Each structure stands twice: as structure tokens, then as C-alpha cells.
Amino acid sequence: MKSSLLFISICLIIVAVTLKETRMQRPSEGFKDGCLFCHKEMTDPDPSHPVSAFGCAICHLGNPYSGDLQRAHSSMVRNPGDLRVVDKTCGQSRCHPDLAHRVKKSVMATNKGMLRIIQEQWIERVNAGDTSPCAGNLRVSDLYEKSAPKNIAVDHYRKMCGGCHLWKPRGAGTGEIARRGGGCSDCHVLDEENSKDPDSPVRSHPVITTRIPSDNCVKCHNRSARIGLSYFGMFESAGYGTPYEECGLSKRRLSGNRFFLNLQADVHFKQAGMECIDCHTATGLMGDGKAYDNLRDQLDITCKDCHSPAFSRVETEEALARRLALLNRQVPGVLGKSVGLTRKGTPLYNLHQEDKGIIFYRKMDGAPIEIKTSLEHRDHHRMKGHERLSCQACHAAWIPQCYGCHLTCRKTGRQRDWLTGADSPGRWKEARSYLRFSRPALGIRDNKDIYPLSPCQMFISLFDESDGFQKDRSFRVMNLSAFDPHTTAARSRSCVECHQDPKVLGLGEGILYQKAGKWVFRPTYDPIASGLSLSHPLDGYAGLDGQPFQTGYREKVRPFNRDEIDRILGVGTCLGCHSGYDDPIYRDFQASRRKFQEGAGLPCLD
Amino acid sequence: MSGLTGLTWMTSVKTGLLRLARGTGVLLICLYCPHQPLASETVNHADCLHCHEGIESINDNHRFPCAHCHLPPGERQANILTDHEKIVRNPSGPQQAEAFCGPCHKTEIEKVRTSLHSTMAGVINQTRFLWGAQDRPGPALYGLSGGLMPLPEAGPEIYPQSTAVLVDDFLRRRCLRCHIHTKGPAGPGIYRATGCAACHVLYDDDGLYKGKDAAIDRSKPGYPALHTFTAAIPNAQCLHCHNHNHVGADYEGLFEHDYHDAFRSPLMDGKPPAIRYGLDHHRLVRDVHGEKGLWCIDCHTRDHVMGDGHVYSFQMEVPKRPCTDCHGGFNEKGPDKTHPSIRKGADGLIFLSKNHGRQHRLPLFRSEGTGHQVEAHARVRCSACHAQWSFQDYGMSVMREDRIHDYKWLNLTMQGDPWLQEQLKACAKSPDTAYPMSTDYLSGRKRQGIWSVGWRFRRWELMPLGMDQADKYAILRPLYQYLVTYVDRGGNVVLDSAVPERGDGSGRGWAFMPYVPHTTAPFGRACVSCHMNPASAGQGIQDELTCDTALTVPSPPAIPGLRLLKPQEAGRLLLPPRRWHRERLKALR
């Protein structure tokens, strides 16, 4: 009885729906996609995805055969780039399956390294309590699951960091935050305000592009290492909002009530007008299919890739370089030409070997820029003893430095979790000691390269449910990071700037002097009196004896050791007279020093 | 008849009122001092010690009856004092000092009135000159005493359309909070008295009375620590005024945190840092003299501090005891043996500090020291090499608002002045528009409008060089790089980050001034901290200067005769000769 009733009602529904659908007015010919019956005047998102050929449903799903508003839209996705649906949309087998797969494993989607480091460093320091153990291989996508691990580090990530990653739904939040996230669309879709023409009756589809404006990058990359700001010569200020403009504070603003100062911009931007994507390749950004912890492992571009390039000839129509150039539509064709290669062997389709020289084409407008190459043969780049220097060590004009990051977490407060969008107990607040931008300190990255350093010093104070300070659970983490600050200057730092400056050596600001033939250092910052319970100043990464006070995660970044400090300072004394890179004393500096100390017949001290 | 009736009537009303007033007064006094006999018609305040039992004797040289210092001359003889209000709280206050302290300390009072502590001539005349209100910064025209013209009052009839008109109001409401005529705002570290007592009566940072006077509330701040007068003045007393990023604070290693609330750090045992002088502070390395426990007054003698009878126009021209008096120096014979604090000890000279007579070995200028072997360094101030850090507050934006619209100071209320902070916080509570008031520190009255200040960036590691009035190379600090905004009561932006013009038309009113950072290290900084350093040579901190980093390029000092480095001097500093390198090598080998 019951089953026959069910059968009858199903039949009735089918009949009703069929009747309704057949009575609807439909386009007479060339019907491909029912969506267009309503959405008549829709522009193409880009020439590679013409609506006339593809229709809408191929990307946006939904039911293209229904003429009913609700049914047609019932399974539709507004943003096909969203990583939750991307396998059925952009990443479907006919389109970009490999890219979708790679992007999901990329650092921008997983935040894997961040989650690992913050957990490993924090959880071992929090004594007992409500914290679950470190979850080893956590990715952002795992945090959307109900079973996601709960610990203090993850809580901090959720509330203070979790708003910038590809899984964040596009449009969630307000202002700049709303513009962040959305999977593929995060980068490849231009902002609505750029793509809407209010005077036209035609409804504009958001524009998809591979010519990604730097705005799309900077909307996220303006915190932490602040690379997206530094490249354009912007430095987050101490919040004074000066100079005042009209009756308000400065209009040089960043999101989150922050302000910036204007400093020297990167030469690639200032002189060549290059945007982020001019260097940053598809593989570097979307990954190569491996899930890296660190962005720097995922990236494939290096300075040398352009300034000391290796070339490969583009032979076939299917070659990646040709396809990328075709998509770009500004850079001249590459078929039959030699294009540059990154360190991972991916093509730089905009770096061409031409008769007139090596030409770099800007991806946004195709403007050619003649590139200076073979720099490695110059004296200053071949100098003995400088083998380990990264380009950035000398050519980075400044690096943003944030000394002392004082975090409090109060259980009495609540705060929005960026991932769930809902409040949860525990409110985090951040305060600082001071900011600086000049004279980057140097240190060692991956035990091989000399790199500019910037501190990340967290002093974490935890408060319980009755707002009592939990002294035994509060802790600090003193980190060093080494990265390319993206403040490249054509002129390098001078020799004395590094060889005699305690700040650059990693000792910190202070007076470095000699007493009875030995170096002694008197630091300027007094950490104990400042209430930090540290034995070293905030800007002191190591002591003169080479003992490291601060290092990077798993010591992949470290300050100079004693031997290195001695060697650097040892050169400093000779620099005044022997200032040339080709000076013979540097061919075998140790021998030269011995000769100097024995002292016979040298003009040095006459 | 009617006239007489009227008169009688008036007299009876008067008498009635007087009785009523006295009655009320007595009632109030009775409530206040419950141990007074209630039935008594007259409360006799002449018996001070009845209430103030246990009060300290002021000091050995002033063993007078209370009335001698605390009552006007005409009232002193009376055996009965009914009105407590007649008692002068601070007989050394600027209005009273002459009558009370004057008979014994006439010369001192006259000299103090000529001192910069009293005239404030340096601050006043330089700022007025830089803002275009007078055509020269010196000799001083305006001052708070010493026969100088009084600072014009900013009346409501004056409509400030230029920095020249605004400057007096700015001085009165921002800069002159620290001077000996009025008390200034109250708060931790800045409780103090006026007049002679500003220095000679010690206040603790918490402003609480610690003595035995039974009548003084020990939980209420604003009292001296003890009812005593002293010439042994510890540094904390000087720092009640000489705080913020100014000399004095540096001697103790204090450098203000940035104003924004995001800099209220670090948390110590869960508590935010202590606020002193209206802000919290970084602690930097202290002056070596401070580390050893020397007091400000060990170097700053009575004549520097209390004046020598001459009206000076700026701080650097006041004759002081130079470093060489104690340590010797270039072409000097050695310490001044007549110096009252220098004694001969078994192994050399001893310095006797005013800080409890502690003795210190006196280190002498070593002519064999590397920097000291360079003859040209005889023209360099000791502090130019020996200062470890300095106050470099770049880009001062100031805004006077008679109306605050669209509240913007929410996280920027802490500007080193508790009264201002209170006002700004109060404005934050009004949703849209507020009409703030703030205190004129000279008149003590509140007026419409409030001055807020912000910086571009503040640093301690930069030390640009220039030339001081004695023709010696000295460290410069920005004083200041003004951008002035004025928003009137109607919300009109009358001045929009205006750069003031100097009063003599010689250029913009920005100045760097030579000064002596009180951050002395026992050895000089490295040669390369000045030589081969573009920032020290006045060329700024980055190769390509922007509107912000260009602030590190000094502007000429406000006072004629003081100057920046000449191009050839800067050139020599940046490209030292081979001989220089050789000397340096000798030192570092």
C-alpha cells in the first residue's frame, strides 16, 4: 500500500515537472545551455573560455536543462574556482585536472609549513593543560573537518592566520578580507570593480586571466614577511598615521587600520615596472605536485634564472612555454625561439634569447626590457670568500623587522575563527616592542647561503577562564627567518656596511670595540630592564663568541658562528686601503693576514 | 530715615550672612576634623601640630615655626587662625617665593628667574621662530620670567590662520607642561611641586606621602614623599620633568614606546608595563655615569641649574662643567683639581658623588686611545663619539582640533600626557562629533581645542653630525620637523599639514639641533659609525630617499652660528684619506 502511494506521488511529481518544463518558452535553435536563455547578455570571462562555446554549466554546474529558476540553480556553484568543487569544474578531466591537483598541494592551499612549525614550536613549550598533541601533517583543508585537532597553536592559526589561503570562500568577510580566497579565482579572477562597466546593458562576467595584477597578490601578502608591501617600497609603520591629511590621519593605509611609510622600492618595480608574476611562474605559484612545507622549496625562480640564464629552444606547438605565451597574449610568440629556464627546468616564456641580446618581456603589457646578464663573471661576484653570499645579502636595501611580538590569549573573550566563521572561546591580541627597516642583519640559511634575516619573536601570555595569568603555561619562541625581502637595489651594500657593523653581524645595535686585542660588544637594548627576561637584546641573534641566541625553525636559519664573525671582522680592518674586489690581498686572505702580522716591509702601517 | 533703616538692614543681613558662613565653615571643619571640640565656636588652625602630628621638620636650616613659612607675614603673629585656606601650601611657589624665601634667598630667587628652567626661553623662542612668529630665535624675546616679554595669551578673538598665530597656543598646551611655574598634569612619575620645591622637595614616582604626618592621606597621590627640603636631589626628581624623549630620560636609559596601543608591551606576569611620564618605555643601555650611580647634580651644578644671573637663549649656550673638568681632554692639563668633588686617592683621583658621598675612581682621558690620537678630534665633542644612542624622533605632525569629527585617536590617546589622554578618551565616547577642551599649562585654564601629536618614525641608532656654538662637531637631533594641522570649530581644515616658515623667511621651520646625548659609553663608538657612514654625514639612511626617509637628512639648526656639516666636511667624513685608514688599522690590528 505504502509503496504504491510513493510510486504514484513520484509519477505525479515527474508529470508536473515535465509539464512545467515543456510549457516554458525556450530558445528555438542552437540550444546548448539553458542558462543563456535568462543570462542572455553575458560577456566572456576571457577568450579561452567563450560562453558561446562552453555555455555556463560546464564551469558553474547547476542544471542547464531546467528552465525553472530553483531547479536550474539548485546545484550551481557561484565560484567554480573554489577548491571544494574544483575537481568537477576547472579541474574536470577535460580541462585542467593536473593544475587543480597541483594547486591543492601547493603551499598557498595547504599552509602546511606554517601549521607544522607553529604546532611543533608551541606545543612543546606549553606545559600540560587542555592542549592536544601536535598534529603532524596538518593542512588547511583538514581544519574544516569536525575531527580537526584542537590545540593552542591551531586555535591561534584559526583566529589570527586562517583568513589567507586558497580554501577561504571568496566573498566571506568584508573589505580586503572578502577579496581573499576562492581557490583558482583568488588569483585568476580580477576584482568585480575592475570588471563591471555600469554603463553597459551587457552583464559582465568576472574576468579570468593569467595576467594577474599584483593587487591580487598583495591583498594577502601584506603581513608577516610583508613582501607584497616591500617590493612596492611600502613599510608598515608604527601606526601614527602621519602626516595628517585634512582633518584625518594619513591616507596611506593598509587593511586592519594599519598605515605605511614609503621607502625605497625594489629596482625591478621602480625601474622596470615589473609585477609579481613577471618573476613568479605558474609552477612556482601553483606548485609542481609535491606538497612542500616551505614556499621557498616550491618556488622555482631565482635571480640567476634571468641574470645568468640557461636557454632551451621551443620546438613544438604543445610545449609548455608556447601554451603559456599563447595564454598571456602580450609576450611575443616563442615557437622556434630560445626561452629561459628556471632552476627546476620550467620555462620562462617571457625571457627570450634574441639577436640583439637577452630580452625580458613584461607579462602585463609585453614591453621588452633588455636584461643585464653574465654578472657572475664580474670581479665583485667572483670574489673569494663571497661564494656563499646570496644576491639578497648584498642587494637587499632593507628588510622589515618586527621586534617582540607579544601575544595574549584570554579565555574570557571570544573571537572569530576564520575557518568556521563563528566565534569560539579564546581571544588573541598582539602587541609589539618596536619596528625597524634598515640595515638587515645577515645569517646562514640551510647551512649554506648567507641571507638577510628578520626576527619573529613571540612572547605568549595565556589567561584562564577566570582571566588569571597562567605563568607556567606562558612561553616564548624566538625565531629567525631568512627570506628575500624584495627590496633589491642595483647598488649593493658597501663592504664596511657588513664587515664592521655589529647589527649586520647579528650582534645587534651597540658598540663593538677592542679591549686588549679582543673584540667586546656593549649592546644598546637592555632586555632585562625592558621586562623581557631575556639574556640578550631583541636584535641580538648571537653573541661575539658565536653562541646563537635565536635561530630559525630546526636551525635551518642561524646567525653567524664565532669563526664566521671573526673572519668577517678580520676583513673589516683591511677594507679602508684594500677596497677593490680585485685587490690581490683577497686572493688568499689568510696568507695576506699572516704576512701583515709578521709585518715586514708592508706599507700598511707606515 | 529711610537711608538709615536701609543701612541697618544691610548691616544686619551682612552680619547674618557672616554668621551663617562661619557656622557652615565650622560645621564643615568639624566634619573634617572630628577630634576638634564640637562646641567650640572657633577652630584654631594655628595649632598645626594638633592635626599634623608627626610631620617632619623641613630641614636643619629651616627650623622655623610652621607659620613662618606657611602663613603670609601679616597672619604669622596671630595666635588664632580660623581659616585653613589662608595657609600657603607651597611657600616656594612662583607667586610666594619672594615673600617667603626671598628675605633669606634673594639672590638665588633672582638668579633662578633668569635661568632657562624659569624662562623656558630656548623652547619658546626657537619654536616661535620656526613657526614664523618672530624674526629671530635669539637673543631671547619671550620668556616666562627674567624680564622677557610674556608669552601672548591665546584669546578666543584670535582666529589662527597661520602657524605664527597658533604657536603660542601650541607652546602653552603641549610644550610648557614642564616648567616650574605650574604643576602640569598629574600622574605616575610626574607628580611634583612648583617653584623652589619643584626641585628641592622630593616627590616619589607614585606621588604618595611616606612620612608620619597624621593628617595626610597616604593613599592619595600628589604629595611629596616627605615634608623635607633638600639639596641632595636624586635623578628621579629631575626626571619628573626631564622625561619623554629628552635629555635626562636617556641618562636612565629610557626611550618612549611608540604611542599606538599596539605598543603597550611586554606583558610581565600577565600585566602590561608600568606607565611612567604618561607612557611606557624601552630600556636601553644607561649612561656609564648613571650605571655607576652618579646623579645629575654631580655634573650639573647650582649655577647651571639655578641660573647665573644671565638670561640665556638656548640650552647649549649655558656654561656648564665640561667632561674635561673631571676627565681631562685634548690639550688639557688634566682634571680641575679645584673641583669640589675631586679628591686624591691612593691610586689616583677619586670622584666624590653627591649620591650619598660614594667614591668612584676617576678615569682620565687617555691620549694614547685611538680616537684621542687624532688631532682633528679635538674639535669633536666627547659625546659625539661616546654617546651610545640618541633621540631621533623624525617627522612631528601636530594637529589642533577645536572639533573632532570621525574619531581617529582611539588607539593613539597615549601621547605622554595623562590629562590629554583623558580628554582624548572622553572624546572617543561621543559617537560623531566632539568639541574637546584642553588645559593651558600657563594659565591653568581649559580652552576649546586639543593638540595631538604623532611621529613618522622614532629611532635611537642614528646619529647625524653637525656643528655646535663652540665650533665643535656634535650629534644632531630633530627639534623638530613640524607639519601643522588646524581644524576649527566649524570643522574647516584651516591648515592642512602646513610646513611652517621660519620667521626670517630663510626657509622651512624644520630644525636639527646639536645636543649632548646623556648615553655616554666608557669608550667611543667605532670609527665607521661616523666615518664612511652617509647617515652621520647628513645624507640620509637610504640611497633613494622618499618623503619619509628624507626626514633623516638634517635641516639647519634654528640658532645662527650652529650649523650642519659643510659639503666638504661631509665629503671628508665619507671618504677619509689613506692616513685615516692606517690609523684605524693600527687600532684594530
pLDDT single digits (tens) A487-538: 999 999 999 899 999 999 999 999 999 888 889 999 999 999 999 989 999 9
Q: Quick one: average pLDDT of B533-548?
A: 94
CA distance A484 to chain B (A): 18
**B49-104 confidence digits (pLDDT tens):** 989 999 999 999 899 999 999 998 888 887 788 888 889 999 999 999 999 999 99
Cβ-defined contact of A526 to B587 (cutoff 8 Å):
no
Residue A151 lies in a domain: no
CA distance A404 to chain B (A): 8
Optimal mutation site among B245, B412, B548, interface A, most CBs of chain A within 10 A: B548
CA B147, B151, B155: angle at the middle one, nearest 5? 145
- Per-residue confidence (pLDDT) for residue B28, from 0 to 100: 34
Q: How would residue A91 be classed by pLDDT, with cut points 50, 70 and 90?
A: very high
Q: How many domains are contained in chain B?
A: 1
Residue B451 lies in a domain: yes
Cβ-defined contact of B408 to A249 (cutoff 8 Å):
yes
Q: Which residues pair with A338 in a beta bridge?
A: A313, A353
Task: Give CA–CA dist B445/B463, Å, rounded.
Answer: 39
- Per-residue confidence (pLDDT) for residue B38, from 0 to 100: 40
- Taking CA–CA distances from B492, the nearest residue in chain A reads A247
Q: Is A474 on the interface with B (CB under 8 A)?
A: yes
C-alpha cell of B393? 624622533
Cβ–Cβ under 8 Å, residues A399 and A452: yes
Q: What b/e readout covers A322-347, taking b as 16+ CB neighbours within 10 angstroms?
A: bebbbbbeebeebeebbbbbbeeebb
Please report how the helices A589-598 and A562-572 are oriented relative to each other, as an axis angle in degrees rounded to 10: 60
pLDDT exceeds 70 at position A1: no
- Per-residue confidence (pLDDT) for residue A197, from 0 to 100: 63
- Per-residue confidence (pLDDT) for residue B575, from 0 to 100: 92
Q: How would residue A173 be classed by pLDDT, with cut points 50, 70 and 90?
A: confident
Optimal mutation site among B542, B543, B552, B574, interface A, most CBs of chain A within 10 A: B542
Neighbours of B99 (CB within 10 A): 12
Cβ–Cβ under 8 Å, residues A432 and A402: yes
Q: Which residues of B fall within a CB distance of 8 Å from A266?
A: none
Question: What kind and span of H or E run contains B332?
Answer: none
- Per-residue confidence (pLDDT) for residue B20, from 0 to 100: 43
Residue A551 lies in a domain: yes
For chain A positions 415-444, those within 8 Å of chain B (CB to CB) are 430-434, 436, 438
Task: Give CA–CA dist A237/A261, Å, rounded.
Answer: 6
- Per-residue confidence (pLDDT) for residue B1, from 0 to 100: 37
Out of A239, A468, A522, the one facing B262 most closely (by C-beta) is A239
The domain in which residue A447 lies consists of: 381-593
Out of B523, B545, B588, the one facing A573 most closely (by C-beta) is B588
- Taking CA–CA distances from B400, the nearest residue in chain A reads A247
Residue A500 lies in a domain: yes
Q: Which residues of A fall within a CB distance of 8 Å from B455?
A: 238, 240, 242
Cβ–Cβ under 8 Å, residues B436 and B449: yes
| Whole-number average pLDDT of chain A | 91
Q: Quick one: average pLDDT of A131-144?
A: 84
For chain A positions 506-525, those within 8 Å of chain B (CB to CB) are 509-515, 522-525
For chain A positions 20-59, those within 8 Å of chain B (CB to CB) are none
Q: Which residues of B fall within a CB distance of 8 Å from A246?
A: 485, 493, 496
ipTM score assigned to the predicted complex: 0.92
pLDDT exceeds 80 at position B157: no
Residue B579 lies in a domain: yes
- Taking CA–CA distances from B252, the nearest residue in chain A reads A529
Specify the 3-state DSSP secondary structure of B574: helix
Cβ-defined contact of B496 to A246 (cutoff 8 Å):
yes
Residue A295 lies in a domain: no
Query: Of A9-23, B222-236, B388-402, which gets the smallest average pLDDT?
Result: A9-23
Q: Which residues of B fall within a CB distance of 8 Å from A522?
A: 285, 388, 521, 523
Q: How would residue A204 be classed by pLDDT, with cut points 50, 70 and 90?
A: confident
More confident position, A517 or B311: B311
Q: Which residues of A fall within a CB distance of 8 Å from B532?
A: 494, 496
CA distance B395 to chain A (A): 8
CA distance A174 to chain B (A): 20
For chain A positions 224-283, those within 8 Å of chain B (CB to CB) are 233, 237-249, 257, 261-264, 270
Out of A241, A398, A525, the one facing B284 most closely (by C-beta) is A525
Side-chain half-sphere exposure of A231, counting CA atoms within 13 A:
24
Optimal mutation site among A257, A402, A530, A568, interface B, most CBs of chain B within 10 A: A530
Omega of the bond leading into B407 within 30 degrees of 0 (cis): no
Q: How would residue A126 be classed by pLDDT, with cut points 50, 70 and 90?
A: confident
- Taking CA–CA distances from B460, the nearest residue in chain A reads A524
* Distances in whole angstroms, Cα of residue B231 to Cα of each of A221, B56, B92: 59, 16, 14
Cβ-defined contact of B548 to A261 (cutoff 8 Å):
yes
Cβ-defined contact of B284 to A239 (cutoff 8 Å):
no
Q: Which residues of B fall within a CB distance of 8 Å from A463?
A: 270
**A361-409 confidence digits (pLDDT tens):** 999 999 999 998 777 788 889 888 999 999 999 999 999 999 999 999 9
Question: What kind and span of H or E run contains B488?
Answer: none
Out of B267, B544, B576, the one facing A461 most closely (by C-beta) is B267
Cβ–Cβ under 8 Å, residues B476 and B513: yes
CA distance A269 to chain B (A): 14
CA A176, A179, A184: angle at the middle one, nearest 5? 150
**No. of H helices and E strands in chain B?**
18, 16
pLDDT exceeds 70 at position A473: yes
pLDDT exceeds 90 at position B582: no
Cβ-defined contact of B582 to A605 (cutoff 8 Å):
yes
Task: Give CA–CA dist A45/A207, Å, rounded.
Answer: 5
Please report how the helices B121-130 and B163-173 are oriented relative to each other, as an axis angle in degrees rounded to 10: 150
* Dihedral sign computed on CA atoms, order A217, A220, A224, A230: positive
Cβ-defined contact of B546 to A233 (cutoff 8 Å):
yes
CA distance B454 to chain A (A): 5
Out of B399, B487, B521, the one facing A511 most closely (by C-beta) is B521
**A284-314 confidence digits (pLDDT tens):** 999 999 999 988 899 999 999 999 999 999 9
- Per-residue confidence (pLDDT) for residue B33, from 0 to 100: 38
pLDDT exceeds 60 at position B39: no
Cβ–Cβ under 8 Å, residues B286 and B252: yes
Q: Which residues of A fall within a CB distance of 8 Å from B547?
A: 262
Q: Quick one: average pLDDT of A138-160?
A: 93
What is the count of residue pairs from A and B with beta carbons less than 8 Å apart?
212
Mapping DSSP onto H, E and C, the string for A96-113 reads CHHHHHHHHHCHHHHCHH
Cβ–Cβ under 8 Å, residues B501 and B508: yes
* Distances in whole angstroms, Cα of residue B469 to Cα of each of B192, B475, B562: 33, 13, 5
Scanning A342-412, the segments in alpha helix (DSSP H) are 379-382, 391-395
Q: How would residue B8 be classed by pLDDT, with cut points 50, 70 and 90?
A: very low
Cβ–Cβ under 8 Å, residues A509 and A503: yes
Q: How many domains are contained in chain A?
A: 1
C-alpha torsion A146→A150→A155→A161, nearest 10: -60
The dihedrals phi and psi of B168, each to the nearest 5 degrees, come to -65, -35
For chain A positions 373-402, those within 8 Å of chain B (CB to CB) are 397-398
Q: Which residues of A fall within a CB distance of 8 Å from B454?
A: 240-242, 244, 249
Cβ-defined contact of A239 to B412 (cutoff 8 Å):
yes
Residue A543 lies in a domain: yes
The domain in which residue B427 lies consists of: 386-588
**A316-339 confidence digits (pLDDT tens):** 999 999 999 999 999 999 999 999
- Taking CA–CA distances from B253, the nearest residue in chain A reads A526
Q: How would residue B24 be classed by pLDDT, with cut points 50, 70 and 90?
A: very low
Residue A410 lies in a domain: yes
Q: How would residue B155 be classed by pLDDT, with cut points 50, 70 and 90?
A: low
Q: Which residues of B fall within a CB distance of 8 Å from A495?
A: none
Cβ-defined contact of B457 to A257 (cutoff 8 Å):
no
Specify the 3-state DSSP secondary structure of B392: strand
Residue A246 lies in a domain: no
Out of B455, B526, B545, the one facing A513 most closely (by C-beta) is B526
Residue A344 lies in a domain: no
- Per-residue confidence (pLDDT) for residue A576, from 0 to 100: 82
Percent of chain B with pLDDT over 70: 92
Q: Which residues of B fall within a CB distance of 8 Å from A458?
A: none
Task: Give CA–CA dist A574/A124, Å, rounded.
Answer: 46
- Per-residue confidence (pLDDT) for residue A514, from 0 to 100: 87
CA distance B388 to chain A (A): 7
Cβ-defined contact of B282 to A525 (cutoff 8 Å):
yes
Q: Which residues of A fall within a CB distance of 8 Å from B580?
A: 576
